[in-house]
Amino acid sequence: MDILTSKANSIFTITFNRPKKRNAITAEMYQTMADALKEAENDAEVRAILLTGKPEIFTAGNDLDDFMKNPPQKRNSPVYQFMQNLSQATKPVVAAVSGPAVGIGTTLLMHCDFVYAADNAKFSMPFAKLGLCPEFSSSMLLPQIAGYQRAAEKLMLGEAFSAQEACAMGLVNKVLPTAEVFAFAQTQAAKLAALPTSSLRATKRLMKGKQLAAIKAKMEEEGQLFSKLLVSKEAKEAFTAFFEKRKPDFTKFK
């Protein structure tokens, strides 16, 4: 299974489990995670949700081959269902990140409540480099988290940044040794699971409630532009260069 799910001690854990493909995410994997989040939300025994990957890789982002064969179709797409369920989760969501978190691997963290990173973690959002634009409200959330200038640097240049920098800019709560990050995140999830569900939900709703509509609107705005850019000449050049293992040439486009 490319996505593993388990429930123990009131914690519902979702794990990327495709290490041979660097945990690159397919449409099928998105659907599995979307359904898992819905299951966790509706299960009264679940009091906290934990997202994680492997010690060497969180996720390389979209599986580009699968992505081109199954481009997102707005609200019907598995990736939209996954991100919608994540952004609207009423239960606390904890993420444990080791290794690279590329593209949506970084985007999804902005919708989590707690993010703990290993010291080998690397984050990147290379959308502009691929001829695309930010996704799933990251163009709104990252400036709120990190400030405009830092967000512009990460979203426009698309360069990777360290766990320590992610922590300094507010994307990550704490950086730990790789061997310790999952256990620490699990301990934090256990603390949450032991607290009153009603008060946790109320607290999360008070912090995020008014912003949910704005997040949804920004997701739709980004999604419409993303779909247009996906069929642009620049995006075609970027993806062709990726598969041909060469550097893209955007100078021929105005």
Given pLDDT bands bounded at 50, 70 and 90, which one contains residue 204?
A: very high
What pLDDT, on a 0 to 100 scale, did the predictor assign at position 73?
A: 66
Q: 93 φ, ψ to 5°? A: -120, 125
Per the domain annotation, does 208 fall within a domain?
Answer: no
Tokens of 35: 């359904």
Per the domain annotation, does 11 fall within a domain?
Answer: yes
- Give per-residue pLDDT as tens, 75-93: 789 999 999 999 999 999 9
Q: What is the mean pLDDT of the chain?
A: 95
- Give per-residue pLDDT as tens, 34-72: 999 999 999 999 999 999 999 999 999 999 888 878 777
Range of the domain at 104: 3-179
Per the domain annotation, does 139 fall within a domain?
Answer: yes
Strand partners, 7: 12
Q: Residue 11 is part of a domain; what is its CATH number? A: 3.90.226.10
How far is the C-alpha of 204 from the C-alpha of 83, rounded, in Å?
17
How far is the C-alpha of 176 from the C-alpha of 116, rounded, in Å?
7
The model's pTM is 0.95
Per the domain annotation, does 29 fall within a domain?
Answer: yes
The DSSP symbol for 50 reads: E
Per the domain annotation, does 121 fall within a domain?
Answer: yes
How far is the C-alpha of 34 from the C-alpha of 16, rounded, in Å?
13
Count of structural domains within the chain? 1
